[in-house]
A and B are shown apart, each in its own frame.
Chain A
Amino acid sequence: MEKFTTLTAKMVSIPTGNIDTDQIIPARFLKVTDKKGLGDNLFYDWRYEADGSPKEEFILNTDQGKQAKILVAGDNFGCGSSREHAPWAIMGFGFRAVISTSFADIFRNNSLKLGLLPVAVDKETHFQLLSLIEEEPATQVTIDLENQILQLPDGRRVNFPIDNFSKTCILNGVDQLGYLQSHAAAVAAYEETNPDRVNTLAG
């Protein structure tokens, strides 16, 4: 889990709606047994030519893309496959937050476990961000997790939702597993009163 408190950074936009995790990282890059190097394959099929050379015009291959720490993407970002390789790749590239109008459930869950912040904003704010990036690519915004505020260059402060538990974990850089482990006694008690439904070792 990577700690996140406040971030002031440049943005980059990929405004397409319903970007699925197969686009974020194609399945052929899932044949790995660790998390290293996935950032190089982020948006691979949108980012590289057939011969493997970078598509110059694709935003992540530009200087703006390389400097950005915030990705602004279209609606329902991260739909499809549950692969955690998607947020691993996004963080591996250097992003610390994704702003969209909405996120797919599994992607959102995975991101919150890693400290990649999914920031959901209303359509109007989203549109404003996209326009800002187009007009002034060097624009920076500030994300303040403690106060759940996205601050725009015009001073406007936009609230974004996050559950208190995930927020506390991310602010402190604490893995969620510890909380589960702290309830070991309750889990054992549950197991005593609830008979096992299946024994996979019995077959």
Chain B
Amino acid sequence: MANNGQATNDQAQTLFEKIWDRHVVVAEPDNPSVLYIDLHLVHEVTSPQAFTGLREKGLPVRRPDKTVATMDHGIPTTPPHIPISDELVIRQIGQLEKNCEEFGIPLHGLTSPNRGIVHVIGPELGLTQPGMTIVCGDSHTSTHGAFGALAFGIGTSEIEHVLATQCLLQVKPRTYAVRVEGTLPRGVSAKDIILNLISRIGVGGGTGHVFEYMGSTIRGLSMEERMTICNMSIEGGARAGMVAPDDTTIEYVAGRPFAPQGQAWEEAVAGWRQLPSGEKAVFDKEITIDAAKLEPMITYGTNPGMGMYISERIPDPDQVKDVSERQTLAKALQYMGLRPGQSLIGQKVDVVFLGSCTNSRLTDLRLAAALMKGHQVAEGLRMMVVPGSQQVKQQAETEGLDKIFKEAGADWRESGCSMCIAMNGDQLEPGQYAISTSNRNFEGRQGKGGRTFLASPLTAVATAIKGQITDVRTMLG
């Protein structure tokens, strides 16, 4: 169908621009564009007030068939026979059940085998597909960009907009190419790539932009590794991060419950093949990361940009020129109870958290279990392993991964957001140190007064075994 004009245009467009253009319903000068949304993911915490808004205005949900709900943030990860004790959580999930029932929205509820963290189940069920626009009232919606979708987090007012109209008002963001080239050294993983990017550009570095991750390293990553990277785009300030769809993407989506079938599949794939950025596409900003030079990353501060190679030493606020940055770093180190110039290798931790929408998928658990096998969690240290979904849990148990963790002395849990958000009973005590595979080390994020080091699953397991922050490369022989 493409004539020469379109082909030329295609060559000059980025992946983001192609998807954006295909979803603009109305573009009036001076107003933001009306953007069509293909898939709206809903969870219990950010949606109740949006449904209330619909009721007050007497509006239906325009497209319940493009909407899907689950519960993840507030759900305890304790065994299913233990009833939920938090009255507020009970009320919030009851409200979601009622809202889904009343508005005809499919819900993967408490007892569903498909329940899980919203950003784990979307891809798992084949709901997440290349070329789509996907939104959710959760900033880590950027995860779905790994499929070559435009996916971003929205607020509750916007949730109401999408429920009512299947559209959003959006000002077109700019584009930011993140090229990662070369072979990752042993012990260095997708998590280290994204933590490195954020440490370089800062937590506001991507504001107003959409990242496109590209280059030989990204092409070589599995879908689950790409999801880890896209997941944390928001921690670099970008609402969305994307990877162009390729054979890896198509192989992953094929045969999943909500993926197209038969002729529709062939047509969909042909369309997805047209999505990658053209050779003449120009980005507003670019950065290149040399994968071969990367080391395992660890954060030392209270935002994900305060990260360094595990072999490095904590920076000194006195060396920071900008007054505001200096104060922010000093405040962070004070909260963390850490000193400038200190190495984090050997730092004691109290808790190891393996989970969250960043690193709780099957390949994360396999990698972690392989390192854990034959070792014990160090004495006095608590390790929690929280699969991202009930399906991930089931599959991990089929493979015997749960046994490896349990025999090592780790706590094997039901799925959920768990200690990444600490509003479900899983949390740190004041002053405790945790090494976490999650995405945020903000003050109190994992529990009031808790102190978080963000790292990869491999670094987390190495630390669990040694009882102190450990460079995993020393354990890989």
Interface residue stretch chosen among B351-359, B374-382, B438-446, B454-462? B438-446
Q: Of residues 170 to 203 in A, which have CB atoms within 8 Å of B's CB atoms?
A: 176-177, 179-181, 183-184, 186-187, 190-191, 194, 196-203
- Whole-angstrom distance between the alpha carbons of A27 and B420 in the complex? 10
Determine how close the nearest CB of chain A comes to the CB of B295; give it in whole angstroms. Answer: 24
- Closest A residue to B257 by beta carbon equals A203
Which B residues are CB-close (under 8 A) to A18?
203-204, 303, 305, 328
A197 touches B444 (CB 8 A): no
- Closest B residue to A15 by beta carbon equals B324
B88 touches A32 (CB 8 A): yes
Cβ-based interface call for A30 (8 A): yes
Chain A, residues 34-59, CB within 8 Å of chain B (1/0): the string is 11000000000100001000000000
**Cross-chain contact of A31 among B86, B138, B325 (Cβ < 8 A):** B86
- Whole-angstrom distance between the alpha carbons of A76 and B22 in the complex? 31
- Closest A residue to B105 by beta carbon equals A200
Q: Taking chain A's interface residues, is the majority helix, strand, or loop, or is none over half, making it mixed?
A: loop
**Cross-chain contact of A187 among B48, B49, B158, B167 (Cβ < 8 A):** B167
Which B residues are CB-close (under 8 A) to A186?
25-26, 34
Cβ-based interface call for A2 (8 A): no
- Whole-angstrom distance between the alpha carbons of A186 and B166 in the complex? 12
Cβ-based interface call for B127 (8 A): yes
Determine how close the nearest CB of chain B comes to the CB of A14; give it in whole angstroms. Answer: 11
**Cross-chain contact of A106 among B45, B67, B155, B257 (Cβ < 8 A):** B155
Chain B, residues 83-114, CB within 8 Å of chain A (1/0): the string is 00010110110010000000001100000000
Interface residue stretch chosen among A61-69, A77-85, A139-147, A148-156? A77-85
Chain B, residues 165-178, CB within 8 Å of chain A (1/0): the string is 11111010100000
- Whole-angstrom distance between the alpha carbons of A165 and B26 in the complex? 14
Cβ-based interface call for B227 (8 A): no
Interface residue stretch chosen among B129-137, B179-187, B393-401? B129-137
Cβ-based interface call for A26 (8 A): yes
- Whole-angstrom distance between the alpha carbons of A99 and B65 in the complex? 41
Q: Of residues 121 to 165 in B, which have CB atoms within 8 Å of A's CB atoms?
A: 125, 127, 129, 131-132, 137-139, 153-158, 160-161, 164-165
- Whole-angstrom distance between the alpha carbons of A16 and B302 in the complex? 12
Which B residues are CB-close (under 8 A) to A164?
30-31
Determine how close the nearest CB of chain A comes to the CB of B419; give it in whole angstroms. Answer: 11
Determine how close the nearest CB of chain A comes to the CB of B68; give it in whole angstroms. Answer: 4
Subset of 26 A-B contacts with CB under 8 Å: A16-B328, A26-B448, A28-B423, A31-B89, A31-B92, A74-B328, A79-B204, A80-B235, A82-B153, A83-B45, A105-B173, A106-B155, A109-B154, A110-B158, A163-B171, A164-B30, A165-B169, A177-B161, A177-B164, A179-B31, A181-B165, A186-B34, A190-B36, A194-B36, A200-B68, A202-B258
